Amino acid sequence: MVFATMIAALFADPSLAKPAEYLPKGGLGGKAVRVITKQPDTLTSFGEARIHSSTTLFDIQAAEVASPQVGDQLTVNGVTYVIQSEPMADSERLVWTLDMVPL
C-alpha cells in the first residue's frame, strides 16, 4: 500500500516523530515505537460553563501497536503517560490517536 509506506516515512522522520517505549497494561511485552506528539488546547462545555484545558495526544502506527487499550503506557523523553480514553483510529486504520495523561 502506497499510503502505508508514506505513513511509515512520516514516523521515521526525526523532525516529526520521537522514540518512545510502549508498555501494555499488565507490564508484559514492552517495545520501542515512534510517536508524533500533539498538544492542542480544547474547549469543553459543561452546562453554561466552557472549560479550557490542554491535552496530550500521541499518534502511533497501527503497524507497531495493533490494539492499544486504556491503561497502556508510553514513555517519551523520560515521562510516562497512560492512555485515559479509548484510542481512535484514522479512516485507513493505519494510525492510532492516543489521549494520554502523565503518571
Domains contained in the chain, CATH given: 2-102 (2.40.10)
Share the mean pLDDT of the chain: 91
Stretch 25-48: mean pLDDT: 85
- Higher local confidence (pLDDT), 45 or 14: 14
List Cα–Cα distances, 100 to 13, 20, 36, 45, 54, in angstroms. 22, 13, 13, 20, 11
Nearest C-alpha neighbor of 69 from the set 103, 96, 102: 96
Taking residues 27-46, report their average pLDDT: 85
Mean local confidence (pLDDT), 35-60: 83
pLDDT at 11: 96
pTM for the complete prediction? 0.85
Q: Are 80 and 71 in contact (CB under 8 A)?
A: no
**Residue 12, pLDDT score:** 96
Mean pLDDT of 42-71: 87
